[in-house]
Amino acid sequence: MAVMAVVGAQWGDEGKGRIVDWLAQDADLVIRYQGGDNAGHTVVNDIGTFKLHILPSGIFNPATRCVVGAGAVVNPAGLMVELAEVEAQGVDTANIWLSERCHIVMPYHIALDGLEEEARTTGARIGTTKRGIGPVYTDKAARIGIRLGDLGRPKWLRERLGLALERANRLLGLFGHAPFELEALLTLAEGWHEVLAPRIIDTLPMVRSVVRGGGRVVLEGQLGVMRDLDWGMYPYVTSSNPTAAYAAAGAGLPATAITQVVGVVKAYTTSVGGGPLPTEQLNADGDRLREAGREYGATTGRPRRCGWFDGAAIGHATWLNGFTSLAVTKLDVLDEFAEIRLCVGYLLDGVAIDGVPDTPDLGRVQPVWETMPGWLCSTREARLWSDLPPAAQRYLERIAELAGAPIRFVSVGPERERLVVVEGDWS
């Protein structure tokens, strides 16, 4: 049995899609376990360049079954566009399955996301992707959500949607927004069902048989630990749990089935949206990282906030996820830096603290810096650990030490093959 959870270890956009695409070459099953189309997972391979939002990043291997698990939320209209786009680029989508338990992002969730974000004062803005993620998970927890399986049960759907809409329209009314009409939404839902019905299934028998049969399974996370609903920097978080502990629940398998947890770690730090970012560089270094790393959001196109690697945040991530190994990405972005800084801990009111404090204090911490020499040569052709320049090896070893987990992969370019495989074994 080999069930590998692939988790974002920082503030998101670590390169999860790129790592899952690589692993999927040998995987039997890939399951997206949380989040929705707020994700932008970039994959660059022989077929082309893709920015996936809800489709699992395993779709490029036609032999790999890809599942959107019950912990994820689906905007059916967006999904249909995404399917059409990848099909137009030659991707076989016959093996993509959707759990009947996925909650549906409705048009009223998207409207509410935008209105609620606008209503927040500037400093309190989360900077959401406006994909309806907060409102759909709110309805899920309030037990008033609509799920993909409901699309095939017209009577039930009419009752459930009627209830949900009453509440959504009351809320929308507070913002002066026009109400959504039940009949119009039911017509939309019919259209979604016509296209998506063959893919909407009880995914458990499939997942169970692959796991029991000893198949290779990848659990694909969305976003990163620092925006986890419970252990991230609340309230500047998403409305689900990217951490590995949720991977089992969201995918529909026992927690004890997970055999590996790979933390995906960018060689520096980026964040899109509000909230603290202790190692942010609002200076020429930050601009250089943004340009060299092409740090612009895959979903919203927003410039990402950039800073040096944060060893305190990684320690937090390793504890919460139990990383068995790391995939360090974007090492090549540092190729031309003569010196590289990294944060090895935080001071709060001048005193060294253990770990990552809660949000108001996280906004006040001072990083403790270390400076390491750069390597000033290209790493893009490296495929083996021994191909990497010694200074890059030292930097990676320091990251592994701060994380308390060994390095399994080092990514040296966005393309599938630009990967140093330190440890390729699945078991």
Would you give the binding string for Mg ion spanning residues 354-393, x where CB under 5 A is met?
----------------------------------------
- Interface with ligand GDP (CB under 6 A), residue from 65, 130, 216, 330: 330
Element (H, E) at 320: helix 311-321
Name the residue among 117, 168, 177, 181 with its Cα closest to residue 139.
168
Q: Which of 21, 37, 41, 139 is catalytic?
A: 41
Nearer of residues 12 and 58 to ligand IMO, judged by Cβ: 12
Distance CA 99, CA 78 (A): 16
- Interface with Mg ion (CB under 5 A), residue from 2, 30, 298, 388: 298
In whole angstroms, how close is the CB of 288 to ligand IMO at the nearest point? 21
Name the residue among 70, 73, 80 with its Cα closest to residue 100.
70
CB under 5 to 8 A by kind: which of ligand GDP, Mg ion, ligand IMO, none does 18 bind?
ligand GDP
- The yes-or-no answer on residue 425 being catalytic is no
In whole angstroms, how close is the CB of 150 to ligand IMO at the nearest point? 23
Span near ligand IMO by CB under 6 A; candidates 7-15, 79-87, 189-197, 344-352: 7-15
Q: Which of residues 256-275 bind ligand IMO (CB under 6 A)?
A: 272-274
Report how many residues bind ligand GDP under the rule CB under 6 A.
21
CB under 5 to 8 A by kind: which of ligand IMO, ligand GDP, Mg ion, none does 311 bind?
none
Nearer of residues 263 and 345 to ligand IMO, judged by Cβ: 263
Which tokens in the block code for residue 372?
A: 């390491």
In whole angstroms, how close is the CB of 214 to ligand IMO at the nearest point? 29
Query: Which ranges in 2-102 belong to alpha helices (H)?
Result: 16-24, 76-88
Name the residue among 10, 3, 114, 97 with its Cα closest to residue 54.
97
Nearer of residues 86 and 402 to Mg ion, judged by Cβ: 86
CB under 5 to 8 A by kind: which of ligand IMO, ligand GDP, Mg ion, none does 129 bind?
ligand IMO
Span near ligand GDP by CB under 6 A; candidates 61-69, 78-86, 194-202, 406-414: 406-414
CB under 5 to 8 A by kind: which of ligand GDP, Mg ion, ligand IMO, none does 332 bind?
ligand GDP
Peptide bond before residue 357 is cis, with ω within 30 degrees of 0: no
CB distance 381 to 399 below 8 Å: no
Q: Where are the beta strands (DSSP E) in 287-358?
A: 305-307, 309-310, 325-329, 339-348, 351-353
Span near ligand IMO by CB under 6 A; candidates 6-14, 87-95, 325-333, 380-388: 6-14
Give the side-chain half-sphere CA count within 13 A for 206: 22
In whole angstroms, how close is the CB of 273 to ligand IMO at the nearest point? 2
In whole angstroms, how close is the CB of 330 to ligand GDP at the nearest point? 4
Name the residue among 14, 9, 15 with its Cα closest to residue 314.
9
Distance CA 128, CA 126 (A): 5
- Interface with ligand GDP (CB under 6 A), residue from 5, 13, 104, 150: 13
CA dihedral 307, 120, 134, 302 (to 10 degrees): -40
- The yes-or-no answer on residue 13 being catalytic is yes
Which tokens in the block code for residue 133?
A: 């993620």
Distance CA 222, CA 58 (A): 14
Element (H, E) at 360: helix 359-362
Nearer of residues 298 and 412 to Mg ion, judged by Cβ: 298
Main-chain dihedrals φ then ψ at residue 26, nearest 5 degrees: -120, 15
Name the residue among 150, 152, 146, 153 with its Cα closest to residue 132.
146
Residue 398 CA, distance from chain mean position: 25
- Interface with ligand GDP (CB under 6 A), residue from 18, 53, 216, 305: 18
CA-based radius of gyration for the chain: 21
Span near ligand GDP by CB under 6 A; candidates 34-42, 64-72, 132-140, 185-193: 34-42
Q: Return residues touching Mg ion (CB under 5 A).
A: 13, 40, 298
Q: What residues are labeled active site? A: 13, 41
Q: Return residues touching ligand GDP (CB under 6 A).
A: 8, 13-18, 39-42, 44, 298, 329-330, 332-333, 411-414
